Amino acid sequence: FFYKTSVTVKKTLQYNVPITSNYFFSSLCGSLKFEIRIHRLHHTFSTFLSHLFASLKIMSSKPKVVLAYSGGLDTSVILKWLSEKGFDVICFCANVGQHDEDFSAVEAKALHCGAIKCVISDLRKEFVTDYVFESIKCNALYEGRYLLGTSIARPVIAKEQIRIATEEGALYVAHGATGKGNDQVRFEMCAQALSPKISTIAPWRDPEFIESFKGRKDLLAYCEKHGIPVDAKPKANYSIDENLYHTSYESGMLEDEKVRPDESMFKMTTSPKKAPDTPEVVRIEFKAGVPVKISNLTDGETIKTDPLDIFLYCNAIAGKHGVGRIDIVENRFVGIKSRGIYETPGGTLLREGHLDLEGVCVDREVKRICETLSLEFSRLCYNGFWFAPEMDLIRHSINYSQRDVEGYVDIELYKGNVIVVGRHSDRSLYNADLASMDIEGGGEAFDYNPADSQGFIRINSVRLKTYAALRNACGNL
């Protein structure tokens, strides 16, 4: 920090020394700029000095940054690097359901590497109720295949990171996302929407950091130099992102789109080939489009009603039967195509159940509009616009459409397949008499005359006949 201070002292007839002064303290560190002004205050000279030195002490303290910390190689190096750059680093680790994560070890490593504090936040329930179930309600699917497992976790993490930064008085947040991926966009768009005054430090876009660390070898050398513990286990030849919604695998050997994934890498699902030979049937109950209960009809014993317990059981039962694996090439927001392998067992099960119940509870035209909203929801979530006004509009509209999505769906799970075997709703729009081929008309409740279809078809075919006439006239059928 550098300071410029101007002081003007005026003589008076009193014994003490009243002063008129302006003090300007401007930080030239990054984007941190603030100013303390004391204008035309009359103090004794000793009081003035005490205020001056107190201000200088405040101004000279290190700036705080809240780092999204995983305990891995990259973020551990970033933690030490930020400390060397003069920051007080507060590490933040989000528990969103990572498999077999030792959070006490993560905290200990963060403190060992120089963090002044490490905050571990259990976000699992919030993640399920406010993000995963929101995605299920609108049947979200990016590019027709991807259930948004990584994308949907970023807003809940960013929200907590900003909360901690605000609470700690930090003017910066930092992350370890690369400059080629989607996560840098997601974290920073969410952060800017939640707190525009907090700036983001992204080391993997910093020229000095990139020049210093050109690969894993440089990172390991830095760790050795600074005494940063490194996992002794051999590193997998691909990257993994995990939360309770899904596990994703990409990069490394998987960048060759022809390479088949190794069976040993999967964490949440059994291979369909090795899944049980006996199917199981579960009943999922929904209210306002949200899962409220799951029962195992096969064992007759298992019942879950807590939102987190429901989802964890969905993962367990669907994963057991090999449900939820995909291998795709998708389009990143930054313009790069990326190959990703995903396993999302619970999400696949719940989405199929919700889709089926909507079939009996939602009006045809409302359903058509919701399908469009679902596409937009998926695109916005994938691209990092969770806290955007257009996303608020979509979510409110989806909530309105789900008022009558209430009832249950029975689903059979068998060797990677999710098979709906029955459904019921007290708010169903389905009428068996009206749909029956064995009952003339619409039954007692509806006045439906099949003969009316003739006029219906004739009116709807007018534009088709007009178009055909034009093609004939042009000689182009």
The set of catalytic residues is 74, 154, 183, 239
**379 C-beta neighbours (distance < 10 Å), count:** 14
Q: By the 8 A CB rule, do 202 and 177 touch?
A: yes
Token couple for 390:
């257009």
CA dist 78 and 67 (Å) reads 9
Token couple for 306:
């807590």
CA dist 302 and 296 (Å) reads 5
The label of the residue with tokens 């590490």 reads 91
Token couple for 200:
């983001």
Question: Which residues partner with 304 through β-bridges?
Answer: 294
E strand intervals along 367-416: 407-414
CA dist 353 and 344 (Å) reads 14
Q: By the 8 A CB rule, do 319 and 311 touch?
A: no
CA dist 4 and 155 (Å) reads 41
> Which contacts of 248-255 are long-range, i.e. CB under 8 A and separated by 24 or more positions?
248/149, 248/150, 248/340, 248/341, 248/342, 249/340, 249/341, 249/342, 250/338, 250/339, 250/340, 250/341, 254/339, 254/340, 254/341, 255/339
Q: By the 8 A CB rule, do 259 and 275 touch?
A: no
CA dist 135 and 378 (Å) reads 8
**Angle at 206 (CA atoms; ends 201, 208), nearest 5 degrees:** 130
Write out the H or E segment, with its range, that includes residue 53. Answer: helix 45-59
Angle between helices 73-84 and 216-226 (to 10 degrees): 60
211: exposed, middle or buried (C-beta count within 10 Å: 0-12, 13-18, 19+)? exposed
DSSP-based three-state secondary structure for 211: helix
Q: Please write down the HEC assignment for all residues of 147-193.
A: CCCCHHHHHHHHHHHHHHHHHHCCCEEECCCCCCCCHHHHHHHHHHH
